[in-house]
Amino acid sequence: MYILDICNDLSPVIKLVKNGLIPILQIGIPIVLIVFGMIDLGKAVIASDDKKIKEAQSMLIKRAIYAVAIFFIVTIVTLVFNLFVSSGASEDEDVGNVTSWRTCWDKY
């Protein structure tokens, strides 16, 4: 029952990361980046300065690219970790009383 003890001890941390930090990183930050870009573009349009509008447009495009990249970082990291799990020991196999991180992650 050593494996279950480790997973139960880590459950608050796993739940915080899985239900709190990851959604904020994956959804919240891209939304904030795009909203700030739209605000900057709106200010430039209201100022009616062509130079500022072009700068704001390029900044909005850059922020949109950053937002897409941040959105996919979580997916890419998950895929890489899944590759390591599948290339090593099986997910249910324990080596020296050390359980796979994936077992605890999927449990909560």
Read off the pLDDT of residues 77-100 as tens digits, 9 standing for 90 and up: 888 887 876 655 554 555 544 556
Task: Give the confidence band of 1 by pLDDT, cuts at 50, 70, 90.
Answer: very low
Q: What is the pLDDT of residues 45-79, one digit of tens each?
A: 999 989 999 999 999 999 999 999 999 998 898 88
Residues 9-21 have a mean pLDDT of: 87
Does a structural domain hold residue 60?
Answer: yes
Rounded to a whole number of angstroms, the distance between the first and last alpha carbons of the chain is 17
Split into its structural domains, the chain has a count of 1
64 domain residue, yes or no: yes
Tell whether 84 is covered by a domain: yes
Query: In this structure, is residue 101 part of a structural domain?
Result: yes
Looking at the domain assignment, is residue 33 inside a domain? yes
The CA distance from 92 to 86, in Å, is 11
Q: Is 9 inside any structural domain?
A: no
Do residues 101 and 80 touch, judged by C-beta distance below 8 A? Answer: no
- pLDDT for the residue 54: 95
Query: Is a pLDDT exceeding 50 seen at residue 14?
Result: yes
Predicted TM-score (pTM) of the model is 0.71
User: Domain span at residue 45?
Assistant: 23-107
In a domain, 14, yes or no: no
pLDDT confidence bin for 102, thresholds 50/70/90: confident
Residue 79 lies in a domain: yes
